[in-house]
Structure 1
Amino acid sequence: MKHAYPNMHYARVATLSWTNLVQVHDHMFSEENKELLKWLVVKLSIAGFAVHLLLVFFARALPHPPPLLAAVGTNYLSVITTPFNFILFYEVLTLIAALPASTTRSIGNQFEIVSLVFIRDVFKDFSNAAEPNWLQEHPHQAIPLMFDMGGGLLMFLMVTVF
């Protein structure tokens, strides 16, 4: 009889690897660690928001900011996307935790992630639209903003109904 692994040593290593991954998953997504992760993400979101806000302030205040600082931008509204990125990371981790536990919960997490992506895009588009006379100068760019706003609202309604 032929084995999937010619050498049983490789079969034991593969089994141990999967066992270790399961143990890491169970430890990482224990109830205590989930609460710790949520707390950490909230704190990082606030800190990221504050740092991004400070960088935009310096980019606006300095007469000739360094290129790296100038790349941050000068629009204060763009800062709101930073906490969304941290929250999206957290939501993806909760999706990973929910996949083996419940199909319903994982589908709900997927709806939440997609709605957060839409809302983040709305804020990103809105920060570009914050310039005076933006709508008169760039009317074709208002269409994606409206689609993102409608999509975000629709996704939030779907999450609520689900």
Structure 2
Amino acid sequence: MKISTWKSRAVRSFNTLFNPGIKEKIELSTLYIASLGFIVHLCIVFLYLSGLITVHSQVESLISSPIAAIYTPFSFILIYEVYLLIYYLPRSFSISIAKQYEIISLILIRRIFKDISVLDFGEVELLTSENLNLLYDIVGFLILFFLIYLFRYILVNRKSRAVTRDIKGFILYKKVLCVILAPILIILSVYSFTNWVIELNQLNLGVISSIQDFNSIFYNEFFAALIIVDVLILVASFRYTDRYSLLIRNTGFVITTVLIRISFSAEGIANVVLLVTGVAFGVIVLYLFSLYDSIDRGEHTKESYAYL
């Protein structure tokens, strides 16, 4: 197959999966499915509170309070945010990183609602590990929200550059990555959820004593896949640009994704610290890149031994 034919097929595939019309349909579908999921979750909660159904203690927190039902719509919103991340990736690596940060903040919000649903200040002391974890998550979310604002602010005020032939080639490369990434993420999501359901069944049968935290289902694998994609983008950037600042920025974005991925292996305050550190690192890298980019005029930059 000719390279030109292969490229055209990749572009057509991307345009089929990621275009404004499909995006709008997925957005509307997400709204309906999230609303339906919320109602179904509420019904399960009331059945549990009425004593009509019983569950294992490890998943009891998911249906112990009507507040826990908010967990479900946020899960569907997160899936839509994952789609948006891939949607914006060819347009801007920076914007896709911003969507990555938004996904992390939504995961944190979802966890906050789950933790709030099981609080009972009438029976436990205020400074228990569960309450402190909730406090860490709330403070962490506020810091993340502010850092995401800073990241977006820097993006809005960044220096615009003309789309060159090399940049067009880079965009095409990222579209190919997105076409490959989309089915992989679908397979990962199905595998992760199926594996969790199997673990839940084994838990009920007494085969195992614990299951994976529902809050990390899919996203462990998702951010591992993102690290690979980010590294591929970084490697490709060496071919399409020789700008030092851009190469360092892309390297920094890989590091921030790694830090976020590692956070899923930590609990409590360590988890929040890693999340905040990862996003803060990305903000600092983007800010330094914008400073460097403001003086970078390519071959016309006034740098020579005469100025030393």
User: TM exceeds 0.5?
Assistant: yes
| Partner Cα distance (2:124, 2:54) in 1 | 30
Alpha-carbon distance in 2 for matches of 1:14, 1:135:
66
- Hey, what does 1:116 align to over in structure 2? 106
Runs of 4+ with deviation above 3 angstroms: 12-22
**Is the alpha carbon distance of 1:90 and 1:132 closer, same or farther for their aligned partners in structure 2, counting shifts above 3 Å?**
same
SS of the residue corresponding to residue 56 of structure 1 reads helix
**Separation in structure 2 between the aligned mates of residue 133 and residue 18 of structure 1, nearest angstrom:** 63
Contact residue 37 and residue 72 of structure 2 kept, 8 A: yes
- For 2:24 and 2:4, how far apart are their aligned partners in 1? 30
Moved more, 80-89 or 107-116: 107-116
Tell me the distance in 2 between the aligned counterparts of 1:13 and 1:45.
44
Q: Secondary structure at the match of 1:151?
A: helix
1:144 aligns with 2:133: yes
Shift of residue 148 of structure 1?
0.7
Correspondence for 1:65: 53
Q: Give the distance between the partners of 1:145 and 1:15, measured in 2 at CA.
A: 54
* CA contact 2:105–2:141 (8 Å) conserved in 1: yes
Of 63, 67, 77, which residue of structure 2 is paired with 1:87? 77
- CA drift of 1:74 comes to 2.9
Alpha-carbon shift at residue 49 of structure 1 (Å)? 0.3
The match for 2:97 among 97, 107, 126 is 107
User: Residue 17 and residue 106 in structure 1: after superposition, are their counterparts in 2 closer, same or farther (change >3 A)?
Assistant: same
% same residue: 30
Amino acid corresponding to residue 94 of structure 1 in structure 2: L
Which residue in the other structure is 1:3 paired with? none
8 Å contact from structure 1 (residues 135, 142) kept in 2:
no
Match of 2:24 in 1: 35
Q: Deviations over 1:124-146 (max 9, x none)?
A: 111121x3525417712212111
Question: Is 1:97 aligned with 2:87?
Answer: yes
Q: How big is the shift at 1:157?
A: 1.5
Could you tell me which of 128, 141, 144 is aligned with 1:155? 144
In 2: Cα distance, 1:44 partner to 1:64 partner: 25
Normalising by structure 1, we get a TM-score of 0.78
1:77 to 46, 67, 76: 67
Unaligned runs of 5+ in 2: 153-308
> CA contact under 8 A between 1:56 and 1:74: conserved in structure 2?
yes
Q: Which residue of 2 aligns with 1:52?
A: 41
Query: Per-residue displacement from partner, 1:100-153 (whole Å, max 9, x unpaired)?
Result: 111221122112111111111111111121x35254177122121111111111
Q: 1 CA distance for matches of 2:54 and 2:2?
A: 51
> TM-score of the superposition, structure 2-length normalised?
0.43
The secondary structure found in structure 1 opposite 2:125 is helix
- Contact 2:67 / 2:117 at 8 angstroms: preserved in 1? yes
Count of equivalent residues: 148
Cα distance in 2 between the residues matched to 1:160 and 1:137: 32
Post-superposition CA distance 1:8-61 (Å, at most 9, x none) = xxxx39997776554332212111111111011011111100110011111222
Kept in 1: contact 2:38–2:73 (CA 8 A): yes
Please, which runs of 5 or more residues in structure 1 have no aligned partner?
1-11
